[in-house]
Chain A
Amino acid sequence: MVSAARTLAAESAEAEAKAALSARDPRRAIAVLMRAYGTELFRFCREQLSDQEAAQDLLQVVFIQAFQSLDGYEPRSTLRAWLYGIARHRCLDAQKNRRRWARVVEPHHEAEGEPPDRPDAAPSGEEHLGARDLRAALEDCVQRLSATARETVLLRFRAELAYEEMAEACGEKIGTLRVRVARALPVLRKCLEEKEMSP
């Protein structure tokens, strides 16, 4: 499932970062990890939060925390999965803060499951629907999932993590994650159909 190019790039980055750690050069390890995984972690945060600026800020926080925690990294899994675990926690914190914000300052905005700047919905089925429209519609449907379902789908498909890696990143049982994915997919399919966008 994981693309060959991504696998090769990840293996190379993992080896280079681990070599830097062995040489007690965590700064170089972080530089390698940023280069290898920065963009995909940004996309993960962007889809989790539906907020470009917040994702940008969070990306930096993730790698600063990773640097601070590198000594605690245990090679049970890949550095990539470990980074996703950090990003996931920071996204959850940001979501909690946003809910708190919405509850106190924007009382008419129900934050739960309703991100504030969701991407534009796709045009109607009467218009020409290209791949770009499908991507936009799918992004919107992913935003409509519950927070836990969205996170699981993103880790499974966008990040292409193995279930073992997802379990480590999320602190959940593999079986729970499998069920979550299997339940989320029909929700996404129906959402696309409602937009007259058959996948």
Chain B
Amino acid sequence: MTAPCDRYEREALLLLEEGRPLDEHFATCPECLAARAAHERLRAALLTPIDAAPRAGWEAGVLSAIDRAPARRSPWARRAPWMAGAMAAAAAVSLVVIRTRPLDDALALDAAVMPGDAAQVRGAGTHVGDLLQLHARARGRFAELRVYRNDRELVMRCAPPQSSGADFKCTRDGSALAGELRLPSVGAFQAFVAASDKELPPPASTLGEDTERLIASGAKVALGPSVRVY
């Protein structure tokens, strides 16, 4: 018993994508003809858009963000030097806000980056000296905000009442934790919030190992977005 012909999928699909003609085999081989029919139906189905649409009015959000923060990227304004002052002022209040997916109502972490030098007109991106602002919701007797650099170096640990360091300060008001870190160097900065009714294990190693220890201790952990500093 011979195996069914599979030349259509092995050869013809690529030939068709390359815009090349198919040889006569594909017009006479019953298995290839059947495969061709199946693939034509598949293509037709793939060409049908999915049934999904963005929320009404989303464009207004984009235009509003553009109007609020025109200075994050400024070549349009650089062509008009008189706009530099206005851009610098706008940069002082411009924010890039990234919301993490909350684990549940009890734990969530938002992060924002505030330009560190509002008087300097620069390109987009996050730079040394920018301020990383963290706002977390953490229900539990014990809660901490931590930030690691390159997943290895702990650069911020906010475990109120201990609430400040050389480059950071933090507060806790009920379930709300807030922290600010002056980004000290280039690299990838990763924040998380942890909460538990039991005492949290202190940091000892890398981001991965420390979060595993926290989770093993029964704590809940919400990871923030990674912020890359250039």
Residues on A facing B (Cβ under 8 Å):
1, 24, 26-27, 30-31, 34-35, 38-40, 42-43, 46-47, 52, 54-57, 59-60, 63-65, 67-72, 97, 100-101, 103-105, 107, 134-135, 138-139, 153, 157-158, 160, 163, 178-179, 181-182, 185-186, 188-189, 192, 198-199
User: Would A30 and B63 count as touching, CB distance under 8 A?
Assistant: yes
User: Would A199 and B38 count as touching, CB distance under 8 A?
Assistant: yes
User: Would A34 and B212 count as touching, CB distance under 8 A?
Assistant: no
On whether A105 and B59 interact (CB within 8 A), knowing A138-B45, A157-B43, A182-B14, the answer reads no
On whether A104 and B54 interact (CB within 8 A), knowing A31-B59, A185-B42, the answer reads no
Residues on B with C-beta less than 8 A from A67 are 62, 66, 73
B157, CB-defined interface residue at 8 Å? no
User: Would B223 and A31 count as touching, CB distance under 8 A?
Assistant: no
User: Would B222 and A71 count as touching, CB distance under 8 A?
Assistant: no
On whether A42 and B52 interact (CB within 8 A), knowing A178-B18, A182-B13, A189-B39, the answer reads yes
User: Would A38 and B59 count as touching, CB distance under 8 A?
Assistant: yes
Residues on A with C-beta less than 8 A from B208 are 103-104
User: Would A38 and B221 count as touching, CB distance under 8 A?
Assistant: no
B207, CB-defined interface residue at 8 Å? yes
B53: nearest chain-A partner, CB-CB: A39
- Count residues on chain B whose CB falls below 8 Å from chain A CBs: 51
- Please pick, from B54, B61, B207, the residue contacting A39 in the complex, using a CB distance under 8 A: B54
User: Would A68 and B63 count as touching, CB distance under 8 A?
Assistant: no
Residues on B with C-beta less than 8 A from A47 are 50
Residues on B with C-beta less than 8 A from A46 are 50, 52
B59: nearest chain-A partner, CB-CB: A34
Listed by A's residue number, 16 A-B pairs whose Cβ atoms lie within 8 Å are A1-B47, A31-B59, A34-B62, A39-B54, A43-B50, A46-B50, A56-B58, A60-B65, A63-B62, A69-B73, A104-B207, A105-B211, A105-B222, A135-B51, A178-B17, A199-B45
Complex formed: what's the CA distance from A164 to B52 in Å? 27
User: Would B47 and A27 count as touching, CB distance under 8 A?
Assistant: no
User: Would A139 and B50 count as touching, CB distance under 8 A?
Assistant: yes
Complex formed: what's the CA distance from A67 to B66 in Å? 8
Residues on B with C-beta less than 8 A from A30 are 62-63, 66
Residues on B with C-beta less than 8 A from A1 are 47
Residues on B with C-beta less than 8 A from A188 are 42, 46
- Please pick, from A134, A158, A181, A192, the residue contacting B49 in the complex, using a CB distance under 8 A: A158
Complex formed: what's the CA distance from A38 to B42 in Å? 26
Complex formed: what's the CA distance from A47 to B212 in Å? 31
B149, CB-defined interface residue at 8 Å? no
Residues on B with C-beta less than 8 A from A38 are 54, 58-59
On whether A186 and B53 interact (CB within 8 A), knowing A59-B58, A60-B58, A69-B73, the answer reads no
User: Would A64 and B59 count as touching, CB distance under 8 A?
Assistant: no
Complex formed: what's the CA distance from A54 to B65 in Å? 18
Complex formed: what's the CA distance from A108 to B69 in Å? 40
User: Would A31 and B63 count as touching, CB distance under 8 A?
Assistant: yes
Residues on B with C-beta less than 8 A from A68 are 72-73, 124
B225, CB-defined interface residue at 8 Å? yes
User: Would A189 and B42 count as touching, CB distance under 8 A?
Assistant: yes
Residues on B with C-beta less than 8 A from A54 are 101
User: Would B221 and A104 count as touching, CB distance under 8 A?
Assistant: yes
User: Would A107 and B215 count as touching, CB distance under 8 A?
Assistant: yes
Distance to closest chain A CB from B34 (angstroms)? 10
User: Would A71 and B76 count as touching, CB distance under 8 A?
Assistant: yes
- Please pick, from A40, A42, A179, A192, the residue contacting B14 in the complex, using a CB distance under 8 A: A179
B81, CB-defined interface residue at 8 Å? no
Distance to closest chain B CB from A175 (angstroms)? 8
